[in-house]
Structure 1
Amino acid sequence: MSDLLWQKPGVEVDPRIQAFLAGGDVLLDREFIQDDITASAAHARGLARIGILTDDECTALCRELSLLSADLLSGDFVLDERFEDGHSAIESRLVERLGDTGRKIHTGRSRNDQVLVATRLWLKRKLGELQAVCRESAEVCLQRAETEALPMPGYTHLQRAVVSSTAMWWAGFAEAFIDNAVRAGQARDWIDANPLGTAAGYGVNLPLDREGSTKELGFARTQVSPIYAQLSRGKFEIAAVDALGAAMLDLRRLAWDLSLFTTAEFGFVGLPPQYTTGSSIMPNKRNPDLVELMRATYASVAAARTELENLLSLPSGYHRDLQYTKGALFHAFGRGLGALALLPNLLRGLQWKPERLAQAFDDGMFATDKAVELAVAGLPFREAYRLAAVEPLPKAGADPQASLEARVSPGGSGALGLAALRQRFDAIPGPA
């Protein structure tokens, strides 16, 4: 490992202790080192604006930062065990190339605000990706709700309950993912605050141009209080993971439906072949492994949220405990966005099996319709309920399509409200 930024003369570093202190930072920081480079360039230009760096020094630093970015992308530079973390790797490279000019880059900042701003830039991008995939999923669901309305059983307690439709099923998940896209945008807006220039949490004795770096880095506002910048570490990550978790909850329930609907016992849905796998021993099997792992992915997001929350049992100010927020955050978004990215094409490719849907109806599923009809005719509902429960329904009345058309309560199968959903969908910001 290269010389540590904080190492003091005469103090020997125990490799085992240092390995524990650094943890997996050198690997984790690969995730957002490009954001760290972007923020470092903005910091250099800010130092030049207040006279700490000359124009030539600033130009040299920004040039080397740009070259480092390119070398990381090409693989010519690798963030590895030579370095304590991504921050030290950047500074080491600048010192190697520029000598004393490289040593000036850390003037007026701490690794505390350095990791904060890199994380914040990374989170903004990931929440943008979350919003985009939720928007795309909602669009697929909405389009299919608008174009197909096969009668299908509606279930409560996994028991046949009333007549529903594929359009209602699609509309339900369309609205869910519209909400998820909106929530991702709200989380992004909430955390869109620049912490760069707060240093170790108490500011520095320099007139840093924080508004300039806010504008350059594309933040909506400056995070004013240095103490709050530290208090927000972990808190903002939880907000982002909560937005991700909301989408994952809906993905889990959708995956559960598909797991059931693809069984031989239901047989309502066929999945595209590429979304299933075979058994290693049973030649007859095609397994819905993809939807099962989609269903399982929420566990990773929930675990990350729990880890983040438990790390925050701290007083104000920076504490090394916060180092562990990175692993939980990267793991949650890595798995969560990985699962969600596969969802839109899965939704486009699944096919209903009308004959199996039709076979799943029985006369009892029309009992609620009968009770409501009797109530509309003037019978007290509790009496209508009793009669519908004990008197057999005439076969002529057991018409799924008629049942769907009669369900005219707003949002019901006869009045789906797709125009209102389309209006909400259109108001979601598209890709940046």
Structure 2
Amino acid sequence: MTAPIWQKQSQASVDNEIMNYMAGEDILLDNQIFLFDIQASKAHVKGLNSITILDKGEADSLIQALDELAHDYNQGVFHLSNQFEDGHSAIEYYLVEKLGDLGKKIHTGRSRNDQVSVATRLLIKHSLKQAEDYIVSAVRACLAQAKLTKDIPMPGYTHLQRAVPSSAGMWFAGFAEAMIDNLMSLQFSLQLLDANPLGTAAGYGVNLPLDRELTTNELDFSRLQINPIYTQNSRGKFELEALFRLSQCLLDIRRFCWDLSLFTSQEFNFVNLPDNMTTGSSIMPNKRNPDLIELMRGSYATLQGAMVELQSILSLPSGYQRDLQLTKPPLLKGLKVALDTIKLFSKVVSEMSFKADVLEKAIDAPMYATDLATEQSIKGIPFREAYQSANDLKKNLADRLPMDSLTQRTSPGACANLLLDELESRFNQLL
């Protein structure tokens, strides 16, 4: 490992085993924020130029070198390895190698604390915007399926027992509305997190008139994160906020996947999944398994574990503590699992199909009892009496048809009145 950028000439070298313990994983994780770190470094250079710490020639040289570093990194020419303590020191090393003493000026007025905060914040913003795009696709897929299947009857269940006739369209519309709410939630989270921490240094500001508004605009943040102490204290807190919002998406996807796990079983046989979404058994030739659905169902647990890990780490006093380095692994793991799962959700929705004939056959006569009780109530019979009467007469309901039940369900949101236009309007207002 190269000498740490904080190493004093008079100080003995830190034991390698201790350094590997403190920073061994950090350099690997920094691969996921390295380009954002470079982006923030360019903004910092422009800020230093604006207050004449760097002249224009120096700033131009540093920005050009940072662009070359990003290119070399993307092309696999420059690697983050255990040669460096972390990605931040790798940037400084590269600039010093390229530009000599000029490269040593890059760190004026900043700390690795605000450096990692701004790179992580940029990553979170980027990830939430990706999630927004995936949720938009999911809403469109659910609404399209709801329109296509609104007249396909299917059993409605409570307690996993057949309850009343429902429709495939109503099932899809339920997940469409859930994803619209999730989109709203993600947008709120983005608004909350859209604050620039760069320029707060190690948590107490610096004795330079840093142009933080300039870097805020350069990095496309909507506002400053003003207080340096709060900037340090928000590390981990903002990461937890992002993972919580994403977890709400996975919570709905988990329920969707639970339904599919049941519906694809031979006992239900309601749904077809494309072959490319199922796998075979290594020993049983007759099997096709919904492994994708099961792993998507389990993804919420990974995100929940990441949130618990973050919450445990954040039992800290104010200011920077090295424990905060440990917020990276759960954040990065949580973001990846969430984005991968949400992205696949719309694909599953679009490519699955219900077996209309099987769904209709699964609706048996007793499921019309609630319809009968409501019909008698309309005629003036007190509902509790109608309820008892319908229960006594349920054996006489065999001549009823599923579509008759669906067309009677006209309350807002019910099968005959899904209000898909209203859902689409709410969705479009968020775009």
- Normalising to structure 1: TM-score of the pair? 0.98
Counterpart of 2:140 in structure 1 is: 139
What SS does structure 2 have at the residue aligned with 1:96?
helix
Query: Contact 2:368 / 2:397 at 8 angstroms: preserved in 1?
Result: no
Partner of 1:69: 70
Mapped pair 1:231 → 2:233: yes
* Structure 1 residue 397, shift from structure 2 partner: 5.1
Structure 1 residue 304 corresponds to structure 2 residue 306: yes
Give the superposition deviation at 1:390.
Answer: 2.1
Which of the numbers 204, 207, 226 marks the counterpart of 2:206? 204
Q: Deviation digits for residues 45-96 of structure 1, max 9, x if unmatched?
A: 1001101011111111100000000001000001011001100000010111
**Structure 1 residue 374 displacement after superposition:** 1.2
- Identity across aligned pairs (percent)? 52
Q: Indicate the residue corresponding to 2:388 in structure 1.
A: 386
Moved >4 Å (runs of 4+)? none
Contact in 1 for aligned 2:281/2:288 (Cα 8 Å): yes
Contact kept in structure 2, 1:171 and 1:416, CA below 8 Å: yes
TM-score (norm. length: structure 2): 0.98
Matches within 5 A, 1:359-374: 359-374=361-376
Equivalent residue, structure 2, for 1:322: 324
Cα distance between partner residues in 2 of 1:179 and 1:317? 35
Give secondary structure in 1 for the equivalent of 2:394. coil
Aligned to 1:100: 101
2:46 match: 45
Read off the aligned partner of 1:218 and give its amino acid letter.
Answer: D
Match of 1:358 among 348, 357, 360: 360
Distance 1:231 1:12 in 2: 31
Looking at structure 2, the residues matched to 379 and 391 of structure 1 have their Cα atoms a distance apart, in angstroms, of: 15
Instruction: Please list every run of 5 or more consecutive structure 1 residues that lacks an aligned counterpart in the other structure.
Output: none
Contact 1:367 / 1:393 at 8 angstroms: preserved in 2?
A: no
Deviations 1:336-378 (A, max 9, x none): 1112211212211111111211121111111111111111111
Given that residues 140 and 348 in structure 1 are in contact (C-alpha distance below 8 angstroms), is that contact kept between their aligned partners in structure 2?
yes
Specify the alignment match of 1:30 in structure 2: 31
Residue 58 of structure 1: aligned partner: 59
Q: What amino acid maps onto 1:163 in structure 2? A: P
What does residue 162 of structure 2 align with?
A: 160
Q: Cα deviation per residue 1:301-320 (whole Å; 9 max; x = unaligned)?
A: 00011111111111111111
Task: Write the distance in 2 (CA, Å) between the matches of 1:249 and 1:320.
Answer: 32
Q: Is the 8 A contact 1:135 1:428 kept in 2?
A: no
Q: CA deviation at 1:396?
A: 5.8
2:366–2:397: 8 Å Cα contact kept in structure 1? Answer: no
Q: How many residues align?
A: 429
Post-superposition Cα deviations, 1:96-152, rounded to whole Å, max 9, x if no partner, equal: 111110000000000000000001111000000111111101111001111222000
The alpha carbon displacement at 1:179 in A equals 1.1
Which moved further from structure 2: 360-369 or 338-347? 338-347
Q: Which amino acid aligns with 2:2?
A: S
SS in 2 for 1:392: helix
Aligned to 1:240: 242
Three-state SS of the structure 2 residue aligned to 1:106 is: coil
SS in 2 for 1:317: coil
In 1, Cα distance between equivalents of 2:336 and 2:35: 17
Alignment of 1:183-194 (within 5 A): 183-194=185-196
The answer as to whether partners of 2:278 and 2:291 remain within 8 angstroms in 1 is yes
Partners of 1:280 and 1:396 in 2: how far apart?
45
- Structure 1 contact 301–332 (Cα < 8 Å) conserved: yes
Q: Please show how residues 78-93 of structure 1 align to structure 2 within 5 Å.
A: 78-93=79-94
SS of equivalent residue, structure 1 residue 160: strand
**Structure 2 unaligned spans of 5+:** none
Q: Given that residues 117 and 198 in structure 2 are in contact (C-alpha distance below 8 angstroms), is that contact kept between their aligned partners in structure 1?
A: yes
Residue 322 of structure 1, CA deviation? 0.6
1:331 match: 333
The match for 2:420 among 404, 418, 423 is: 418
One of 172, 177, 180 as aligned partner of 1:178: 180
Q: CA deviation at 1:393?
A: 4.5
Whichever residue aligns with residue 21 of structure 1, its letter is: M
SS at match of 1:154: strand
1:153 partner letter: P
CA RMSD after TM alignment: 1.0
